[in-house]
Amino acid sequence: MIKILIYEDNSQLREGLTMLIDGSDGFSVVAAFKNCTNIVEEVAAFNPDIILMDIDMPITNGIEGLKQIRKVNTEVKILMLTVFDDNKNVFEAIKNGANGYILKKTQPSKLLEYISEAASGGAPMTSSVASQVLKMFSSLNTSKGEDYNLSDREKEVLQFLVDGYSYKMIAAEMYIAIDTVRSHIKKIYEKLHVNSKSEAVAKAFKDKIL
């Protein structure tokens, strides 16, 4: 039996969720509250397996409730159940230890699947939320990586190499002699521990140097 504690300020939805879950085999709602003001005491008293948590609640919202619980309990599974699928709320929920993020428009049968998934160690997310998460991590991955102590001038030369410029073209663009270009490139190769233009370009992409 999966024991569920609900936090939802909309009384109709709170009662509807309780009826849906209690009426399904293998699930039991141990309690339901309109906000998270006493969440630490309530979780200790009811010892749920899963918490279904709204975000937008009066007095103490779901993100704050999540933070409070995670200070004292890292075992209970917490599913955010909300109308919000914006980056800020998704990021805050995941950062503070939510086990899943589900939109309120989720079909009842799917909601029960998500609860079961979370209870068995999964991290269920509505598809639109999963897309937001992928975008967030993708943007994080585009942050600059190791720069190998390259000078600004060397980075400029490396960028020209990445863009396919020849030594002569780089010299013309930077108003320097070809021998100076060669000198910069030799230092770039040494710092990147590579032996060719193709290796330097590959490393620039792989390690997000530029």
Query: Predicted confidence band at 23 (pLDDT cuts at 50, 70, 90)?
Result: very high
Q: Is 165 helix (H, G, I), strand (E, B) or coil?
A: coil
**CB of 147 closer than 8 Å to CB of 209:** yes
Among 32, 19, 113, 100, smallest CA distance to 66 is for: 100
Q: Which CATH number does the domain 2-141 belong to among 3.40.50.300, 3.40.50.2300, 3.40.50.12280, 3.40.50.720? A: 3.40.50.2300
CATH of domain 152-206: 1.10.10.10
Domain boundaries along the sequence of the chain: 2-141, 152-206
Query: Which range among 1-15, 88-102, 165-179 shows the weakest confidence by mean pLDDT?
Result: 88-102
Distances (CA, A) of 26 to 2, 22, 90, 153: 6, 9, 29, 65
pLDDT for residue 143 is more than 60 = no
Q: Is the pTM of this model over 0.75?
A: no
Mean pLDDT along residues 109-125:
89
